[in-house]
Amino acid sequence: MSFFIKFIAFSAIGLILLVAAIYIFIGFERVWSTIGGAPSSELVEIATVKKTPKPNQYLICPDGYCEEVADQTAPIFNVSIGKLREVLSRIETADANFSNVNSDADDRRIKFIWRSPFWRFPNLISVELIPLENEQSTIAIYAQAQLGQSDLGANKAFVDELLRKISSQI
């Protein structure tokens, strides 16, 4: 085997061992907090949020609710916001990667941290529950990666899955 091939093989093995050691002994959450700071628990007013040029965010709003152009129009649910909050709480409880870090007094604005399963990248998920007439409700969601330029569509995929879970539990 040539020197170059041995060098590449040992480098790859060393990198794998380094990643494994970080994962086991330090934890990726601490690494990302050191690099990017602790994830913010500050509540966001989604109606006035300004998206950045980075593709690492995703915005869902009801028609006419947000100043920014939404990536997707929010669905209307045939339940009160109280029931919608209960469903969201059940989803949070069932997902170890999704945790509530702050909410306002009436639980209509909520801040979550969602961490990707293996790498544990922090994603900030801001949610607003919006009451409508006739015991209906809707939701506004602003999801953004805390780190990096692109999230490779992870926030869109997470929000789509979250909406699917909400719809299936209503």
Q: Are residues 32 and 46 in the same domain?
A: no
Q: With CA atoms as reference, report the closest residue to 168 among 80, 88, 74.
A: 88
Q: Are residues 132 and 110 in the same domain?
A: yes
Question: Taking a C-beta distance cutoff of 8 angstroms, is the pair 101, 108 a contact?
Answer: no
39-43, 133-137, 141-145: least confidently modelled range: 39-43
User: Residue 115 and residue 147: Cα distance in Å, rounded?
Assistant: 11
CATH code, domain carrying 46: 3.30.310.220
Q: pLDDT tens across 81-90, in order?
A: 999 999 999 9
Domain that holds residue 24: 1-38
Q: How confident is the model at residue 1 (pLDDT cuts 50, 70, 90)?
A: low
Q: Are residues 102 and 60 in the same domain?
A: yes
Supply the pLDDT for residue 117. 79
CA dihedral 74, 75, 80, 86 (to 10 degrees): -80
In the chain, % of residues over pLDDT 70: 92
The model carries a pTM of 0.81
Question: Taking a C-beta distance cutoff of 8 angstroms, is the pair 114, 96 a contact?
Answer: no
Question: Taking a C-beta distance cutoff of 8 angstroms, is the pair 143, 121 a contact?
Answer: no
pLDDT at 91 over 80: yes
Q: Are residues 11 and 55 in the same domain?
A: no
